Amino acid sequence: MITSLDQLDLSKQYTYADYLKWRFQERVELIRGRIFKMSPAPARKHQAISRYITSQMVKYFENRPCEWYYAPFDVRLPRKASKADKQVYTVVQPDICVICDKTKLDKRGCVGAPDLIIEILSPGNSKKEMKDKFEVYEEAGVREYWIVQSTDNNVLVYTLNEQGIFIGHRPFIEDEIMHSFIFPELKVDLREVFKD
């Protein structure tokens, strides 16, 4: 049994089957088989942003068929048709995600692309969210991706076009009420999000 990250070769590629055997304190994600350490505990501002956005999710999705989850919640993104644990090389824990196709949900989380993923940047994770996760979310077919930039008080929104490419929209800034493009009635008051 693996109980410490020190027992692993961080240059090696791992699968979800490996991930299930690990029993260490640190939270990690797998992106294309590479291990990424997660921040030990998000800062208070990150938590406040997450709490407010979550409250909007509760209101919007209360009587709708989609389900939403917040971290820690495993989202497995298989690259091929096989969903076998040994064939899944990407396991992420988005801050918030929305899944409308309930066949993607199982007792361990979600297997397949959520419809909406929201990531809140923290110091030290910007590259991972802006590049590595952006690429796997696009490749997997996530329909909409929000990147909440707490230091710049804005939200970048990307939606998937018919060719499977993320298209960026004008950033929503701190004094606006933003909306989702795939759920147009889902609105978030950024004055409340960034008030701290």
pLDDT per residue as tens digits for the range 107-123: 999 999 999 999 999 77
Instruction: Give residue-wise pLDDT tens across range 155-194.
Output: 999 999 999 999 999 999 999 999 999 999 999 999 999 9
Q: What's residue 41's pLDDT? A: 65
- Give the pLDDT confidence score for residue 24 in this predicted structure: 84
Regarding beta strands 144-149 and 116-120, do their DSSP bridges make them parallel or antiparallel, or are they unpaired?
parallel
Residue 49 in contact with residue 150, Cβ under 8 Å? yes
| Dihedral pair phi/psi, residue 111, rounded to 5° | -120, 110
145: which strand partners?
117, 158
> Token pair for residue 22?
């690990």
pLDDT at 127: 74
> Alpha-carbon distance 91 to 56, whole Å?
26
